[in-house]
Structure 1
């Protein structure tokens, strides 16, 4: 339509002006190109919406005509571009010469393709047949896979379903990819037919008389024709229409099933029950890798999808026995359960506290760790000098260490471990006021049997009716000393790995346990008329470690990793 007629009376365009770059009807063309004016000299062409410039000019140098062609860079140049250093040493031709050379090459290439139209038709037929065969083979293989899945009833159903789904998906993706590749080849061959696609464009291009315009468009056309001739001479299918490599193979899964040795070994040294249950296990040697684990425990509990080789169970019932077992899982399924492990929960809520370093009497002998969870007493030069001045064969000093909490009610439990090489270490509780008195009036002892405890060691206070302000158990040299009514000297047993202490404040009773098995060792009484503190006494060299909460230990390990 005419671009200058006012609607709705717009007439159909009959002429186009390359200078005005617009289409006109006859009346508007006369109106905008009056006789005797410079506009009357404008060149008119057939009406179109795509006007190209009458003369190609350089995009870098305004109004400079493109008169040269650089064969090295394959681009048109103006006289100013030709003088640039970047084209020094390049083979540069006049654009008319490049026009003749490209026109001859393109005409020769087009004639070669037109003379081999039968070959093009034969290749198109072969490609269309390959596309059809691809669809037929895909359908046949899909049915074969479905039949194999139905007949494989002796294999685990989950394996067959998983492999069938993945193989079907891969088969469909391969079919789509191959069909697209073959369809692209068909489209390319059809463009080589006479009066279609590339051939039609080439025929129109050869009619171009303007040398710069022809060279500008002929560069890519020449490359396309050259590549098409190469593909025509070396024809090969872009994709294989067969799907013989797609077979339902579950041999790997069956191998995993036959080698499913998920009989785990519980690590009893690291497994424990404290504020939470901590279960640790390891895979047997040469075991198949597991994706995740399932932990099952009595008390109507189960943990699925456990990653790693440990699990934590919280919200425990006090003074109860939990039975735990674990099994692994991977693509082959679940393995067998491990042997059951029994864990006894503490008889009271766990008390978390730290060692109060301010109560240390001798800084040169008593050292508290930075985390205030570990203490060590090391006899040093001062103790050696004291023994020499006293002219005795044995001269020891007791060093007291107290927890940073004071218990005023309820039942509480905590645990610690004493180094087997310790000389004498006492673990227990005491009235805070009496402990402060002891702190301010330290006792020097000529014998390790003397101490200001409840009298269970020395028997010095058995005659007193009052409840003792302290209650300790003595450990040392790999042994633990337990008072016994039938034996005035008491009994000694091997030192347990961990010692548990349970204080019942209302009843004024202290119970000592083997913290590993929660077996009671001994029970005593303590005066609970005031706040009571956990207390530890070192006689000679020794070391102890407070039991870390399971929750804290897992948090520390997570921070480290």
Structure 2
């Protein structure tokens, strides 16, 4: 019905055609709308009767009028009949109170869909009088004609507005006050009411604006359509605004709660500050008393010792004075015999007194006068001056250049600017899956391993997967809280391996702790096992490990060999044929002067130098890649893109000369480190060298 209604709509008033005219261009137009077009061309010098042509608003075809004017155009009776049938086929008749035709432009003013709203209830309670009644007061209106803009009582409606032409197209609604019925006037044409909406200028316009005004080339829409869209937009925005206000209220409530908590915490910390400072003052007071007592005790002890020394000095002085007096008396004797008789004894006593002067005269210790005693509280003063509330320590910094690794361990080193305030450290680590958002990765608690209560600035993690990248965080902790370091991406070394003697061809001899393999035609005593290479010419051996995770790198020194195959294979790969001729093995091979890659018996020639002497093999199991490199020239040769389903073992096959293998190597710089992780450097790698000799 909506599609049919759009076909029955006038392009000028955007309402159902009323008394439609059939134009020569086959388009239709309401009689009144055509009359409006003619009126818009009138002027003081150009009356209505002189206008003999106008343009079709749909196709711009020029319509020429005869002397009868618009009356000379044919009526589109067929279209009028269709409109009449359409109106009768509607949910209710055109004069029904519940008539549900598309609302006219005034609906935005009346609120066409306000059933049950407070506005509609108030409007229904307001008494609307009939505008045709002669009596005073007028009878109550039962209908309002939107087209006529007049309200009728039941008697006047039957008498002046019968349900006959030309009133059949008029729209009757519940009684509406005149102020609510009147539509908005056009800003450019005072006598016209707005009836459509200009989408380009975002403005209400009338029919004349569309016909002859500046909006004639603009896209327009009906007021009801614009009303619905704008109302929906406003409702959506209002919903979002209400939701945002609710969120702001919740946020404000949280902030208020935090403010209250700040007040509580501040009071608690202030009380704690007073308590701690009082304790410090009490400690200083007690230490002052203790030190004062020590000073007094030291004073008494020193004075006692000094008094004893003074007494000793006095005794020595008295003895010396008596001896001096006796010696002086002897020196006055002039009789030689008498002098010799008395002076010899005195001289011996004086000589003895002089020789023992250090004993007779006590040593006075000047340190007893507190020369070696000092009060120096400069260190304590600095500590007191630095008193402050405790904060969480600054984030530690992981020193990647100091970190070391093996194939199953990583030793992490870090530094901290606040070592004095750090109580302990906590190390957290997990396997790096390639996720770049470290915040969300850190929040996935289940995948993290945690080592708590570390007292040193380094820690060694054991039991890690070989050739695997890990993410490490270090957390510095004290009583005030903790802070995390920036993440560090560290990697364990590749898995070292040896040749498995159970897989070596029976014509190959392994020696040197299974690191050397050489061809031995006489060595036929080995028993046949399913794991052993047994094909004619397929002299090969596999590594003694099966790899199912991580990123691993090894190199093969080729020497002068011109026939070989290097790669990986499942345990189920056939051992009686060259690797790569089945779906369970992937190899890079050289056959004389041709280099090729082979898998599932499909070969592809690749470019490589005939001087190739060292091949690097990179197995990135987690990223489903097997790559080969010219290790001497740092050049990429080929990469298999394969989704491994089972663990794989390194595989080596030769036909002539010798090969030497180095396993457990760090990934070199010329390999894309963003793909495989950063190496730690060759100084920490313990790699295994294996030599394969064939003659």
**Scaled by the length of structure 1, what TM-score is found?**
0.34
Greater RCO, CA 8 A, separation 6+: 1
TM-score, normalised to structure 2, is: 0.29
- Whose radius of gyration is greater, 1 or 2? 2
